Structure 1
Amino acid sequence: MKYQFVRGSLIGMLALGIVLPLGLMAQSKPQYGSLAEALRSAGNLYGSQGPQSVNWTNGGNKYSYTNNDEIHSMDPKTLNDELIFKNQGLTFPGSAKGFEYESFQWSHDSKHLVFKTNLRKIYRRSGISDYYIYDLDSKQLKQAAKDARSAELSPDGSKVGIERGGNMFTYDFATGQEKQLTGDSTSENGIFNGHYDWVYEEEFGQEQAWNWSPDSKYMAFWQFDEHTVPDFQMTNYEGQHPDNIHISIPQVGDANPVVKIGVIDVASGKKVWLTPDETGDFYIPRIYWTSNPDVLAMMTLNRAQNHLKLYFFNVKTGEHHVVMEEQNSTWVAIFNFYTNVNDMIYFPEKSKEFFWVSDRSGYYHIYRYNYDGKLINQVTKGNWDMIKVSGIDPESKKIYYLSAETSGLEQQFYAIKFDGSDKTKLSTVPGFHDINMSPNTKYYLDSYSNVSTPLHVALNDDKGKTLKMLEDNKGVSDFIKDHAYSAPEFFNFKTADGTSLDGYIIKPFNFDPNKKYPVVMTVYGGPESHDVFNSFSADMWQQWLAQNGYIVANVNNRGIANYGSAFMKIVYKQLGKYESNDFAETAGYLAKLPFVDASKMAIMGTSYGGYSTTYTLLTHPGVFSVGIANSPVTDWRLYDDIYTERYMAPLSDNENGYKNSSDMTFAGNLKDHLLLIHSMSDDNVHPANTMQLLTALTNSGKDVDLRIYPPGAHGAAYNWESYILIESVSYQYLERYLKGNCDLPNLNAK
């Protein structure tokens, strides 16, 4: 369901006002000859994203980055840049084939690189790969694991932990031997160790289901038993007798896999199961090693995901106790996909304190606990959301974090003491900042932009001083000076019930305020996501629409994050209701602008944006005359249980809510043009969603347009040609039904 596009937005606008950024007036500047040309030129606006594959090494005193296939090391203190690895002349051991890699990780001693090669994708994050170890001193390359789902060096560098075929192994460098640690997984029994099932990987956001202990003595791992989980089948219809792919995916109300945590003493092979005091159906979404060598923290969630417990386990004995509990009338968040927040709880090394991020005050803030579970103090406070903890320094007792304190449209960087004192704003440029901080918190990379400033990447020290500007994307700035470009302009208005909403419009090239233009709202809108930021817009689809006389719009609807819990969690148990209301009211606000043609408005989106599109057309008919829905959920009973029950509650507790959030309930209301797009190989939003909506519409005597792309995954596109075709079909649909343009080019013409 998570198929998110982040687009630009602006801070500091007056209510109901419009801000006019640089780059709007595009008359007489070069434009794009075709949609394909526009999409191919995306790099002109996207520019450079700065150093790639950044990894902090040497305890945080250096970082590595990639330049093509080379790996460089940067010393922030001296600004010395050193080439430490290159592919040239290197071959796979025992082969003449040139060495290539997918990604890499560092050993804790910063003397070895672990390369992932020959990746064969499985789900969104995971895949089967071969792993090689490179010694920086000897410059020797050795294979460490073949056909493994994951592999990682032990912290002391003596071994490689491996998960292969649902079992755990280690490879010992001293002996050159591989040792099998578990043997209870087979292809027939539905039991596997060390990797997640589909729904845990997708909805709890992690790939590797095991962790080394900091002292390299133990490996803690998840075990899954999914033999009771329903089987989902899909095919791309290729071949004389198409193959069906089988995946165990629990949908709403289905049986979940049985999950437990094991810890193996690597030296002895002894295994201890850590059993929490839970009954019924529950999840174990996270485990963490604490600063006590033999203590593992385990997080449990009830199936409704509104009651969290944090256990401390002695991994030698299995003895345990509950340290902290968190309950909520809606849901308790343990990570956020959209802001790349993997954790809401933090255990600093060499500290007997931990930090928990909670919205118990109505806004997300940081809370400080000791290992006895006693709340010491609330660290951040205010009517704004803390977004992400970027670094924690136990020595100076400082936390570094990103927040929406200045506005829900901004992401700014701060430092604060553990006791909540001495808060300092480190970022100075208005806009969206993303921080990659060294583990010792001495340095950080600040990637930032705003509506009139392309992405900049700066290397800073812990006081916020810029040591070096790594990327300023001057080429992008020069490009928009010399080429047609329309930047977002931002607005704010209040809905009928008094809720304040932020949004943006992108005006057509050669804009004439005396003309009236059609509007295309491009939406996502799912809970905990965020659409409109004060960040640079590089969306070439939107620029193509602007070139061809469309106004493009978007809004931060209710359900969106960074405006407080009341704004976000109002959608609980009633997905679709407030999102569609806010899209319809945004259309009403835009319709009053003198240059908007209120009779020619479209709404379109993918994944949750597809659901937003269909549900809005069906519950607010006539507001938008056209809808384009790619890979839409159409009934939440057809989606996976972890995501859906988090926001809708289990089905038995909310049957009317599920009915009222279903497109099928309102299928008879359709009066507008609707294009549905889906892949038959979508393991995320299953094709049944579109097919069941088609049946409901047909039974109501309603006709729609349909495009199926069998080999595609979620989002339907599966290669460049399919991507161009889907965008072209969507554009022609807008041209035909918003502008009445029936004289359209043949998409098959060369």
Structure 2
Amino acid sequence: MTMERKLTPVLGLLITLSLQAQEPLKRLTLSDAVLKAHSDLAPQHLDRLDWVTGSGSYSYLKGDSLMRNGVGKMADRPVIDLEGLRGSLPPGAAEMERFPAITWQDPDHFTFSHNDRVYSIDLTSRTLQEQCQLLPHAENQDAGPNGRIAYTVDNDLYISIPGTSGTIKVTNDGGDGIVNGKSVHRQEYGIEKGTFWSPQGNLLAFYRMDETMVTPYMLEEIESKPSTFKKIRYPMAGQNSHEVKVGVFDLRTKEILFLNTGEPKDQYLTNLAWSTDERYLFVTHLDRATTKARLVQYDVTSGNPIAELISDTSSKYVEPLHPPLFVNGSRTSYIWWSQRDGWMHLYLYDLKKGLVRQLTSGNWVVKEILGQDPKGSYLVVAGTADDPGPMTGRGSLETFLYRVDLRSGAVVQLTRDPGTHHGELNKDATQVIDRWSSTSVPGRTEIIDVRSGQVLKTLVDAPDPLAGYRVGSIELLSITGEFGDPLNARLIKPSGFQSRARYPVIVYVYNGPHVQLVSDSWLGGAPLWMLEAAERGYLVFTVDGHGSDDRGLAFEQAVYRHLGAVEMKDQLHGVDYLRGLPYVDRERMAVHGWSFGGFMATSLMLKAPGVFKVAVAGGPVMDWSMYEVMYTERYMDKPEENPDGYAQARLTDKCGQLQGDLLVIHGLDDETVLPEHSYRFLQDCVKEGRQVDFFVYPGHPHNVRGKDRVHLMTKVLDHIDRALGMADGAR
């Protein structure tokens, strides 16, 4: 398959991806589009590609064999295969069905977990050593220095020590409403885990969450007969939230000390980080109103605060997502993330001197710190491209890798090829593995020199995985949205597209915070099912409106206190753009979205009646007062503080405005958007005499995954087909 990428001005940016192939072309089935999207039909890549600690080489998995190579021209060499790893297991060990995830200790040793045991293998002698044994049902494993592993069983915290058969039980009070060692605040504010090892592994910080004051919520489980109910604690906007403490467990004394974090008890304690000498723990405090984030330094011997180091404030909201990162070779210098200038940038601070300098600046967003060199001279980061203007949006389409000098603040772009780059830095920060794609490059994996940006070796140059399939074209567009701001959009056309024909449209929507659907990556960021949908005879359209990711703080905060209002106007600007195209059938438009996108799809049907003939809303928020505290109050404040905003966004009392065909889908086990949202919406539909379709997926949480996703997408697209007269034989 040959692919062409051309830039043409269409209200800003038009990237056309032409997918051409020699005959015969196969039809892309919906089943393949869903089940093979990350395997056979994904661009070729090296599985489990990783740097080998203490060497200049990398490893990856090829079939059942672990392979290793370096930047030179030597051939890949096998390290060990699955059969060899099985043979090293002790007698009586459970069968190892697939090659496990590994962690390199040095060039000759790696560790892995198998059932309830952690092993280290010596690759020279092919001997296996049991590091430690975990209790049954262990979860949330967190490996620390010296091979120590923290983990949870139920709601208590444990530690296993290498070379001992015993297990330390850190907490004893876990139970209904008391949770130790797990993520808190519903994984908002960058919280992804509940344990934090000190640099030498002598201390373990952990979260303790008391949610006994949060109203219980029951979810029905039908695996048994009769069905049972699972109790969860779900803090809804404006209601009681849980209370969190930070404990510090000393492995030498076996004692716990809790930090004196003060009032109010429902504050958010986020982004924990240790000092290099293990004397201090740093915690970012965020008030429940989310208007002030404070970085506080704690003495772990007394639990008392030592100093408030940084305070970031906003009249709308602040959202701390990253802990401070201490600079290698220094006990006092650290990196701080902040959006104080309107974009997510990095700042160099000192514990004694305060702010030293702003490291990055401009109309772009730092997305990730990949690491730093051993001497603390520079960082390697991933970030968007610098926008030519503060609101063009073009820069957000791409992600590049950069080197940031900590002394001068100079920023050097390491990757030049347009597209979306993801990096993995080696330990000495001299080379980075760059995995990237674009609308014209299915996937490429390269090793780049961090000093020069030179490509040292190409590991993979993936061919087009859709070669031989009949698929259409993908265009990245810029359209004008609310306030006159350019919005990034994507339009998928069917193969054999004819400009004189008139095509129905499926608008796929999310348009919520922290999500970007359109990018300069393979297929423009589109999932494969959209290409299958286009082959049914549709145009498939997506626009990233105000509130979506990587466009700066002003673009995101345009939705503050009125979720759905500006976003809906942006989506309707997208509809206006479509209606201006001569090949669009204005009378046959559908909208589909999930989660925030389900809220948007339903909002468009109720508040812009007649625009869309049919909508499919999955896992939709129907009333923001029933959604979780942390997310909702950040964008909407409390219901009593913003009654008009909540009333405007509420959909459970607007069913009388429904025109057209609406299908609502919900997972029965959804702990993110509770099924009650859909139930209350249906209740109002009955009250107003409005007919809607409703489907429940038993056993599925907020998203439907695995083989059942084929059923889901079949239901979605077949429903749209019927509503728009596109059923088999009528296309």
Task: After superposing the two structures, state which structure 1 stretch, 518-527 or 205-214, moved more.
Answer: 205-214
Cα offset, 1:718, TM superposition = 5.1
What are the superposed Cα offsets for residues 16-60 of structure 1, whole Å, 9 maximum, x if unpaired? 377463434579652427433554554687434523334444257
Q: Name the aligned partner's letter for residue 285 of structure 2.
A: T
Q: Name the aligned partner's letter for residue 473 of structure 1.
A: A
2:541 to 537, 553, 559: 553
Aligned pairs for 1:414-563 within 5 A: 414-419=402-407, 421-462=409-450, 463-476=452-465, 479-480=466-467, 482-495=468-481, 497-537=483-523, 539-563=527-551
Taking structure 1 as reference, are residues 220 and 705 closer, same or farther at Cα in structure 2, changes over 3 Å only? same
The alignment yields a C-alpha RMSD, in angstroms, of 2.9
Alignment partners' CA distance in 2, 1:740 and 1:727: 16
Alignment partners' CA distance in 2, 1:397 and 1:62: 23
Name 2:389's counterpart in structure 1.
Answer: none
Alignment partners' CA distance in 1, 2:726 and 2:142: 58
The SS at the match of 1:156 is helix
Name 1:564's counterpart in structure 2.
Answer: 552
* Structure 1 position 250 matched with structure 2 position 235: yes
Alignment partners' CA distance in 1, 2:547 and 2:28: 38
The SS at the match of 1:656 is helix
The SS at the match of 1:612 is helix
Taking structure 1 as reference, are residues 61 and 284 closer, same or farther at Cα in structure 2, changes over 3 Å only? farther
CA contact (8 A) 1:24 1:485 kept: yes
1:628 to 582, 598, 616: 616
Name 1:683's counterpart in structure 2.
Answer: 671
CA contact (8 A) 2:182 2:207 kept: yes
The SS at the match of 2:381 is strand
Taking structure 1 as reference, are residues 170 and 735 closer, same or farther at Cα in structure 2, changes over 3 Å only? closer
Q: Name the aligned partner's letter for residue 389 of structure 1.
A: I
Name 2:392's counterpart in structure 1.
Answer: none
Name 2:600's counterpart in structure 1.
Answer: 612
Name 1:346's counterpart in structure 2.
Answer: 325
* Structure 1 position 151 matched with structure 2 position 148: no
Taking structure 1 as reference, are residues 205 and 32 closer, same or farther at Cα in structure 2, changes over 3 Å only? farther
Alignment partners' CA distance in 2, 1:369 and 1:496: 38
Q: Name the aligned partner's letter for residue 150 of structure 1.
A: N
CA contact (8 A) 1:284 1:300 kept: yes
* Structure 1 position 195 matched with structure 2 position 182: yes
1:221 to 203, 206, 217: 206
The SS at the match of 2:640 is helix
* Structure 1 position 263 matched with structure 2 position 248: yes
Taking structure 1 as reference, are residues 46 and 104 closer, same or farther at Cα in structure 2, changes over 3 Å only? same
Q: Name the aligned partner's letter for residue 97 of structure 1.
A: A
Taking structure 1 as reference, are residues 179 and 27 closer, same or farther at Cα in structure 2, changes over 3 Å only? closer
Name 2:11's counterpart in structure 1.
Answer: 16
1:173 to 162, 165, 189: 162
CA contact (8 A) 1:11 1:410 kept: no
TM (normalized to structure 2)? 0.90
Name 1:573's counterpart in structure 2.
Answer: 561
Name 2:375's counterpart in structure 1.
Answer: 395
Cα offset, 1:344, TM superposition = 5.7
Taking structure 1 as reference, are residues 166 and 539 closer, same or farther at Cα in structure 2, changes over 3 Å only? closer
Task: After superposing the two structures, state which structure 1 stretch, 18-27 or 618-627, moved more.
Answer: 18-27
Taking structure 1 as reference, are residues 311 and 67 closer, same or farther at Cα in structure 2, changes over 3 Å only? farther
Aligned pairs for 1:399-414 within 5 A: 399-406=379-386, 407-414=395-402
Taking structure 1 as reference, are residues 77 and 643 closer, same or farther at Cα in structure 2, changes over 3 Å only? farther
Task: After superposing the two structures, state which structure 1 stretch, 346-355 or 692-701, moved more.
Answer: 346-355
CA contact (8 A) 2:373 2:430 kept: no
Alignment partners' CA distance in 2, 1:665 and 1:707: 21
The SS at the match of 1:697 is helix
Cα offset, 1:74, TM superposition = 4.0
The SS at the match of 2:522 is coil
What are the superposed Cα offsets for residues 56-103 of structure 1, whole Å, 9 maximum, x if unpaired? 442574444333454444444676755444331526544153224685
The SS at the match of 2:484 is coil
* Structure 1 position 87 matched with structure 2 position 82: yes
TM (normalized to structure 1)? 0.88
Name 1:723's counterpart in structure 2.
Answer: 709
CA contact (8 A) 1:9 1:534 kept: no
Q: Which sections of structure 2, spanning at least 5 residues, go unmatched?
A: 387-394
The SS at the match of 1:543 is helix
Taking structure 1 as reference, are residues 19 and 484 closer, same or farther at Cα in structure 2, changes over 3 Å only? farther
Q: Name the aligned partner's letter for residue 350 of structure 1.
A: G
Q: Name the aligned partner's letter for residue 630 of structure 1.
A: G
* Structure 1 position 362 matched with structure 2 position 342: yes
1:35 to 21, 30, 34: 30
* Structure 1 position 735 matched with structure 2 position 730: no
Taking structure 1 as reference, are residues 84 and 294 closer, same or farther at Cα in structure 2, changes over 3 Å only? farther
* Structure 1 position 317 matched with structure 2 position 312: no
Name 1:121's counterpart in structure 2.
Answer: none
* Structure 1 position 300 matched with structure 2 position 285: yes
Name 1:99's counterpart in structure 2.
Answer: 96
CA contact (8 A) 2:242 2:266 kept: no
CA contact (8 A) 1:305 1:331 kept: yes
The SS at the match of 1:21 is strand
Cα offset, 1:192, TM superposition = 3.3
Taking structure 1 as reference, are residues 508 and 375 closer, same or farther at Cα in structure 2, changes over 3 Å only? same
What are the superposed Cα offsets for residues 569-627 of structure 1, whole Å, 9 maximum, x if unpaired? 11111111111111111011111111111111111011111111111211211111111
CA contact (8 A) 2:546 2:555 kept: yes
Percent identical among aligned pairs is: 26
Cα offset, 1:151, TM superposition = 3.5
Aligned pairs for 1:25-64 within 5 A: 30-32=25-27, 34-40=29-35, 42=37, 46-48=41-43, 50-58=45-53, 61-64=56-59
Taking structure 1 as reference, are residues 264 and 676 closer, same or farther at Cα in structure 2, changes over 3 Å only? same
How many pairs does the alignment contain? 710
Taking structure 1 as reference, are residues 725 and 451 closer, same or farther at Cα in structure 2, changes over 3 Å only? same
What are the superposed Cα offsets for residues 263-316 of structure 1, whole Å, 9 maximum, x if unpaired? 122122132211124324201122111223311111221112231111112212
Cα offset, 1:450, TM superposition = 1.0
Cα offset, 1:633, TM superposition = 1.1
